[in-house]
Amino acid sequence: MGNRSSLLLREEEIAQIQEETGFTPNQIERLYSRFTSLDRGDCGTLSRDDFLRIPELAINPLGERIVNSFFQEEGLNDRVNFRQFMRVLAHFRPIKKNKENKLNSREEKLRFAFKMYDLDNDDMISKEELLAILHMMVGANISEEQLTSIAERTIVEADEDRDQMISFEEFCNALQRTDVAQKMSIRFLN
């Protein structure tokens, strides 16, 4: 085992993370404890394999896509530090009156969801990408014809400029009446 004391958070780091993410100091400390328990190499960062050891992600059909979201930040290779980890988690923090920050705003929650579907990172969602995500979510429980029909109908309903793709703006418009803040929020430890 490595020296855990070298990995302890300082008060100024907690304050910076709180300012950036909106988490309370208590939540940050509890999430840091969880983070360090996942850090098998004791190096202060997590790998994709570390994330995939989380049981809830291992059984989630979109687990791999969720794990990928932690590695989307510019310049990240194959490891995520605690601050980067917290920035991703902040997208799932419930929005409280007068306490919304950029990372958990409605737009950022939608951008995060959009990236789950945009498999090739071209800022567009194609029918093929929708089909791939549907396959991940439902597996063999629905026929290929039904999945294709769902993907095609989704494109027709959301594609305002008729280019057979869904842009981020079209994605937002399609979800205009959806309570994204509630659907993309997780209650974190208090």
> Residue 105's pLDDT is what?
83
9-92 has which fold? Recoverin; domain 1 (1.10.238)
> Residue 153's pLDDT is what?
96
Helices and strands: H and E segment counts in the chain: 11, 4
> Residue 59's pLDDT is what?
86
184 CB contacts (<8 Å, ≥6 apart)? 91, 92, 109, 112, 113
DSSP helix/strand/coil, 137: helix
Domain boundaries, the chain: 9-92, 105-183
> Is domain 105-183 annotated with CATH 1.10.1040.10?
no
Full pLDDT tens readout for the chain, 190 residues: 343 434 578 999 999 999 999 899 999 999 999 999 998 877 889 988 888 888 888 888 888 888 888 887 665 568 899 999 999 888 888 776 555 567 778 888 899 899 999 999 999 999 999 999 999 988 778 999 999 999 999 999 999 999 999 999 999 999 998 888 778 877 665 5
Per 3-state DSSP, the chain is made up of helix, strand and coil in percentages (nearest 5) of 60, 5, 35
User: Is it true that 9-92 and 105-183 share their CATH fold?
Assistant: yes
> Residue 187's pLDDT is what?
67
